[in-house]
Each structure stands twice: as structure tokens, then as C-alpha cells.
Amino acid sequence: METMNDETPRPTDQTAPADQTGAAADQPVEDRVNNRSQKPTSDAFKRFMGSNWAPAETTPVLPDASAPFAARRRKALSEQFEGERLVIPAGALKVRSNDTDYRFRAHSAFAHLTGLGVDHEPEATLVLEPVDHGAGDHGGHHEATLYFRPMAGRDSEEFYSNARTGEFWIGTRPTLGGMQARTGIRTADLSELEVAVTKNAGAVEIGGVRIRLLRGSDLDVEALVDTSRINTGVDLEFSDGLDAQLTEFLSELRLLKDGWEIEELRGSVAATIAGFEDIVRVLPAARGHERGERIVEGAFFSRARLEGNDLGYDTIAASGNNATVLHWIRNNGEVRSGDLILVDAGVEADSLYTADITRTLPVDGTFSPIQRTIYQAVLDAADAAFAAVKPGLRFRDIHTTAMQVLAERLHDWGLLPVSVDEALSPEGQQHRRWMPHGTSHHLGLDVHDCAQAKRELYLDAEIVPGMVFTIEPGLYFKNEDLAVPEEYRGIGVRIEDDIYVTDEGAENLSAALPRTPDDVEAWMARLLG
């Protein structure tokens, strides 16, 4: 990576004692990362750097397609928490190594309420300020303001000297006016956030404004809110409960997807299917390589970055016995002829909506008889679960339907030590030795979306139109599993699709990616040509 100057500065006296009192000893530790650079500080340099730049582009900024949908979500939030100040941070940059950061991704709740994705809102915070009943934005009870750090002028030192925020280092950032035009949300400089969050805050019984904060996103904003609470005598334990209720509601607000979200998910699924085609094409190169799984992982990552923002989650590229490790993300194993490779992967769109698809593929393009038998059992379980999906079904019943099929197959193969009924009973569950995970989870901005929703609105809920979730049964027979015949060992199979609930039943958003053994073999043969 580039620094301000490629020359390495001469070291200071490295043998000086720890209690030295010179200028080097007084330099703050956090500033010493800049010792590798020789940044010009002369007034002449500053004047020259601030001159002779073309004016910033003045192309009109159009509203994002997500803006009206995000406005409706903010109004639903406003209806729930009338009279309270709501603080939703995007999150801060996270250090990966020393002074290099991970690529920024906003908190999903922030993205849902603003419609913003990609990587240009670190430290931004959405504040919903309570106003008179019905006098707020779109007839709600709040006025929303988006606080963020706007682009600095090219005549400023930040332009060329700040490696985290300067345009010279990271490219252009939005202006306040441009962001307001995009989102339909009033904007303000991040420097105004402290006053906006803390003004007239305090206990409701003495005329203060109650604050609810989305926690777990930005420690600086948390410290700001908590300090304000302490200074105004607000009970922190009680406030933690208020914050938890906000987190819960923001999670539940995503249980039903609107039309814009469905289209974003369709795009993510399409890109993910293209990524699986890329995987098949690199299997000959992966086969026999000591880290063949990394070749598979890399092919999919290239597609995710080409067509989307990033991976929706770390890709699982698990060949052979690694496919029996449910979250195998090391991906450092060999891809061997005759094995199956289980790939669980999803492209995250620029809007941050992700697909989540799994296919289990024969490395050589053809299933062996035992591989085909196990694969077909998993496919039958997935198909039975999908056929059952319709409005009114309970979410937990998807899993029950899939488990019925798998328990019956395991019994037919002589693997269950008890009857099917006993295995399926709460006191049994022996079949779960080979299928220990759940069959479904909600999908959207997070791969495991709506995770903070109440149990009665998730596992125990009735399925309704607008829900999007996965169906992903599997069977996993480990090499070291002595409860199964040797021919089963080292085989892991999972089939996962993304399901959209409609008024009539359900749509498999990922059905275009082959699923049956015959279709998988024909598809692989065509791609390998």
C-alpha cells in the first residue's frame, strides 16, 4: 500500500531508555504509525496543494429507487416509538491490521432505514427526533436527520492528509446536498451529532426526552448516549431494556420484504447462480491441487466483487470429509476426484441484500451410486418442505416436514437405532446425529436475517406473504462416524434454496440453479464442454 512518502525515515535512538524525556518519548503512541511517512507541512506546500483543482462535479443527484421504501420503514418505526429520540448508527471502520481497515459495511438496520449500501457512510448516524403527533416526516411522529462526514473541500488539509477520510486517499464522498437528494432525508455534518443526541435528554418524568439507541454498532455513539444518561440521572439498566426493544423492533421490521427488496434479492440470486457456474468451470484446475478449495472460493469471490458489493458471508467450499463440517470456511483442503464438494455461497448486492444458496457437486461431474442415493434423500426432503410452504403454515413446520423425510430414509438404510416415530419424538431425535442444524432461516440484509425477532414472530410464527427464507436440509456422514457403513463416510450433502412466500404459496428464487442429480450432471457437462 502507498504511504505519503516511500522513503523510510531514519530511526530515532532505539537504545534510549523507556523514561527518556525527549520529543520522541512524548509522541503519542497512536501517532507513531505516521513515522514511516515524511508528510510536507510547509505553508508553501499547503497553498500549492489547495490550488488549481477542477471544480467538483455538479451533475444533479437523483433519488435512489430505495428512497420511498425506506421512508415507509422509518414511518413504521416512528409509529412504534412516538415521543422518543431514536439513534441508529451505521457503525465505524474496523481495524484489520494496524492502520488498515476492513472494507466498511453499514449495520443492516441503518441500511434498511436509509436505503444506503456500499461503503461511504462510516460513522454516519440516523437520528429520529420526536415532534408533535403526526407533524413529522410523511405524517409520522419524528423528523429524521442523517449525520455524516461530508466531502472536504480540495482546499482543505483533510483532502490530501487524512488516509481514512481524504478524497486523495479514498476517493470522493457525498456532499450533504447530494446525500439528501439521494435519500430524501435531511442531512447535517457529523460534528453536530453530539448536540443532536444529547440536547434536552433525560428522564421523562422531569420533562426530558427519552433516548433509544441501536447498540453494538458504534462504541463512540454508545459512549455519548450512556454518558448523557449518567449525567441526567437516567437508570442505565432500564435504558438497556429500551435499547433492546429498539433492536428487536428493527429486526422484526425486516420480517416482511417489500417489492424493492424482492427485486434486490432476485439480483443477488442471479449473480450467485453465475458464481456457481464459475465454480464448475474451475473444478478441473482445483482437482488435485493441495488447496483446491481455495480455487473454488476464489472463483466465487471474483463474481461477488464483479456483480455485487462483496460476499454475503464467508464462502464454504468443502470437499470430501470437509463437507461434513457445517461451517467449513478454512477452504484449504484438496479437491479430489471421486469426492463431492459442498459449496454454500451468496453474493451481496450493492444494496447489501444477499443470496444464500448451497449445492453439492460431484468433483468429476458424475455422482457415484451411494452419493446419488444420499443426494436424492436430501433433495426429497427439500422438495417436501417447499411443497408444504403456504401462508398459514408455521415456520417451525418447514423443519418438521424435512425431518420426516430424512428420518424415513435413515431408517430405510438401517442407520436409525429406533423407529421413525421414536426418532422424531422430542425424547428421541436420533436422526439429528446426521442433520444437526435447522432447515430454514430468514434471509435479506443479513444472511441470517431478523435474528433478534421474538420467538413468536420467528420460529412460532405463521408464514405470510412477503417472507423470504431458506430451505436447506442436509445429511453429514463423517469419516470417523462408526455408526454408519464405510461407504457412507466422508460424504456431506446440503441443498439450499431461497424461498419467497406469495399469496398463492411460494416461489423458489434460486430454482434456475440445477437441483436434481441428472440436471446437475448435465449442467456440469455443458459448462465443462
Residue 3: what pLDDT?
Answer: 42
CB 149 within 8 A of CB 164: no
* Arithmetic mean of pLDDT over the chain: 93
Residue 118: what pLDDT?
Answer: 83
Determine the Cα–Cα distance for residues 338 and 320; give it in Å rounded to an integer. Answer: 9
**pLDDT for residue 17 is more than 70:** no
What nine digits make up the cell of 516?
436434481
Question: Whole-prediction pTM value?
Answer: 0.93
Question: Distance of alpha carbon 254 from its chain centroid, rounded?
Answer: 14
Which of 486, 437, 496, 494 is closest to 323 using CA atoms? 494
154-187: b or e for each residue (b if 16 or more CB lie within 10 Å)?
Answer: bebebbbbebebbbeeeeebbebebbbbbbbbeb
CB 269 within 8 A of CB 468: no
Residue 30: what pLDDT?
Answer: 80
What nine digits make up the cell of 350?
450493492
**What contacts 316, CB < 8 A, 6 or more positions away?**
327, 328, 329, 331, 342, 343, 344, 345, 358
Secondary structure tally for the chain: helices H, strands E: 16, 17
Determine the Cα–Cα distance for residues 329 and 2; give it in Å rounded to an integer. Answer: 30
Residue 163: what pLDDT?
Answer: 85
Determine the Cα–Cα distance for residues 324 and 319; give it in Å rounded to an integer. Answer: 9
**pLDDT for residue 10 is more than 80:** no
Question: 205 falls in which pLDDT band (50, 70, 90)?
Answer: confident
Residue 395: what pLDDT?
Answer: 98
Question: 35 falls in which pLDDT band (50, 70, 90)?
Answer: confident
State mean pLDDT over 470-496: 98
For residue 330, the tally of other CB atoms under 10 A from its CB is: 16
What nine digits make up the cell of 366?
458424475
State mean pLDDT over 42-71: 92
State mean pLDDT over 1-12: 40
pLDDT, tens only, 125-184: 999 999 998 899 999 999 999 999 988 888 889 998 888 888 888 888 889 999 999 999
State mean pLDDT over 323-333: 98
Q: Strand, coil or helix: what is 381?
A: helix
Higher-confidence residue of 163 and 315: namely 315
Residue 24: what pLDDT?
Answer: 59
